[in-house]
Amino acid sequence: DLHREFQRCRDNNDLRLDLSSNDITSIPSSIRDLTQLTELFLYKNKLTQLPSELGNLVSLRKLGLSENALCSLPDSLASLTQLETLDLRHNKLTEIPSVIYRITSLETLWLRYNRITSIGEEIGNLSKLKMIDLRENKIHSLPASIGKIHSLVVCLLSYNHLSKIPD
């Protein structure tokens, strides 16, 4: 039971919670109490959406959500001002959720194997981004603003529908 797991995590003051491979379909709002967490892993579940209360986990540095069925993210994630790594591989995103462009602390962003068709100019807001994985999507073009991310070292784009890249 997730409520018991959350209670145990809070009582032990755990910094890391891994609930991967559990067939979880929804996250209870009581997750809001786990404000001490720095790492949360929810890989290989059956999540179609996330509760807005996830935005209360203001200490999070790593959030692993790959292999779910997410189509969107709650705007409350903009509160995760410490978040450095966000893993959204193997989901059902058709666009980069706008809230991602507001998480300016991001250094590593995994978006491989979704259904993303375009990247917003706002990608340039992610001034600390070092690595972005956009492989195996349906991206047709890149915004010029991606060139403004001077920290960017790795940008993986294979298996897309790119016809040109900005100068």
Hey, where are the domains in the chain? 2-156
pLDDT value at position 113?
98
pLDDT value at position 167?
75
Q: b/e map of 26-60 (b: 16 or more CB within 10 Å)?
A: ebeeebbebebbbbbbbbbbebeebbebbbbbebb
pLDDT value at position 166?
80
pTM of the model: 0.96
* pLDDT exceeds cutoff 90 at 1: no
CATH class of 2-156: alpha beta
How confident is the model over 6-29, as pLDDT tens digits? 999 999 999 999 999 999 999 999
Q: Whole-number mean pLDDT of the chain?
A: 97
How confident is the model over 42-52, as pLDDT tens digits? 999 999 999 99
In angstroms, rounded to a whole number, what is the distance separating the alpha carbons of residues 31 and 109? Answer: 23
pLDDT average, residue stretch 79-98: 98
Beta bridge partners, 85, equal 62, 108
pLDDT value at position 15?
97
